[in-house]
Amino acid sequence: MEPIPETVWAIEELGPFVHDGDLLEELTDLGERASAVVPDIVGLSMESAEHGVTFTLLASHAQRAVFDALQRPSGSGSDAVAAPEPSTTDDLLDEDSWQERALLNAAPCVKSTLTMPLVDGGRVAGAISLYGASRRAFAGHHEELAEALGAWVEGAVTNADLPFASLREALRAPRKLRSASTIDRAAEIVSAEQQVSVPMARNRIREAADRAGISETQLAEAVIRLRNP
C-alpha cells in the first residue's frame, strides 16, 4: 500500500510539528504489518487525535476504482442504493445481515472493515481503520492485528466504514492543516496586540467570524493581511 498524495502533502505541512520521527515511514510500516497478517487489505486510515486529521494508504490496484467513485456526488444516481429493511428480529440482530445491507453503498473494492482505537499512555491517541477486499478478511485476526499495529483490540468495531469515509477525511487533511496554521498565526497577532492569551485570542477570532458570517480561516487571513499588507 502507498500513501495517497494528500497524506504526503499533509505530513509535509506538519513538518516540524511531528515529534516522533518520520510519520510517513511509520504509516508505511503499519501498512506492511497489516498486510502481512491480512494480505487482501486494500486500504488503511489512521486518525490522529493530536493533529486532528486522517492519513490514508491505498493498495495500488484499488486506487483508480476508489477515486473514480469519489468523483460521483454522494447520494446521487447509482452511488446510493436503498437497502431493504430487516424483515425479522433475527435479521436485526444478525451481523451478516447488517453487513449485507451496508455493502450496497460500500466503496469499490471494500467488502469489510475493522476499526480499532490507538491508545498511548492510557489515553486515546486516535484510531486505525483497515479495509478488506473480502467479507471475512479480518475474521479471526483482530488480536493479531491489534498486536501488530499497537491498537486496543477490546475497542474493535467491524464494518463501521464500508463507504470508506475516512478517505474523504484524508483528502481534506492538507487544507485543514493549512487552515489551522493560518488561525494560529492570526491568534498570535491578536494575542500580542490585545494582550490576551493565545487561547483567548482564538476564541475572539471564532466569535468575530460568527458575527461576520464568515469562516474562522477567512477572518484569520484578514487579520494577517492587516498586519502584513
Task: Give the pLDDT score at 75.
Answer: 44
The last residue of one of the domains, among 154, 171, 188, is 171
pLDDT tens column, 99-138: 554 555 567 788 999 999 998 888 888 999 999 999 999 9
pLDDT tens column, 1-38: 999 999 999 988 887 555 555 888 889 999 999 999 99
Q: What is the mean pLDDT of the chain?
A: 83
Domain identity same for 105 and 199: no
User: Band of the pLDDT at 78, cuts 50, 70, 90?
Assistant: very low
pLDDT at 157 over 70: yes
Domain identity same for 190 and 123: no
Domain identity same for 132 and 68: yes
- For cell 486529521, the residue is 53
Question: Residue 7 in contact with residue 27, Cβ under 8 Å?
Answer: yes
User: Which residue pairs from 60-63 have beta carbons closer than 8 angstroms and sit at least 24 positions apart in sequence?
Assistant: 60/1, 60/2, 61/109, 62/108, 62/109, 62/133, 63/4
What are the phi and psi torsion angles at 126 (to 5°)?
A: 150, -155
Looking at residues 157-173, what average pLDDT do you find? 92
The last residue of one of the domains, among 147, 171, 195, is 171
The last residue of one of the domains, among 140, 155, 171, is 171
Domain identity same for 220 and 108: no
pLDDT at 54 over 50: yes
Domain identity same for 122 and 57: yes
* Number of domains within the chain: 2
Domain identity same for 11 and 64: yes
Domain identity same for 182 and 207: yes
Of residues 92 and 165, more confidently modeled: 165
CATH of the domain at 178: 1.10.10.10
User: Band of the pLDDT at 210, cuts 50, 70, 90?
Assistant: very high
CATH of the domain at 124: 3.30.450
Q: How far apart are CA 168 and CA 32, in angstroms?
A: 22
Task: Give the pLDDT score at 61.
Answer: 80
Task: Give the pLDDT score at 85.
Answer: 52
Q: Residue 7 is part of which domain span? A: 2-171
Domain identity same for 92 and 188: no
pLDDT at 86 over 80: no
Task: Give the pLDDT score at 15.
Answer: 73
Domain identity same for 71 and 177: no
Residue 200 neighbours by CB under 8 Å, 6+ apart? 191
Instruction: Enter the pTM of the model.
Output: 0.77
Q: How far apart are CA 226 and CA 210, in angstroms?
A: 19
Domain identity same for 139 and 101: yes
Domain identity same for 182 and 144: no
Domain identity same for 128 and 40: yes
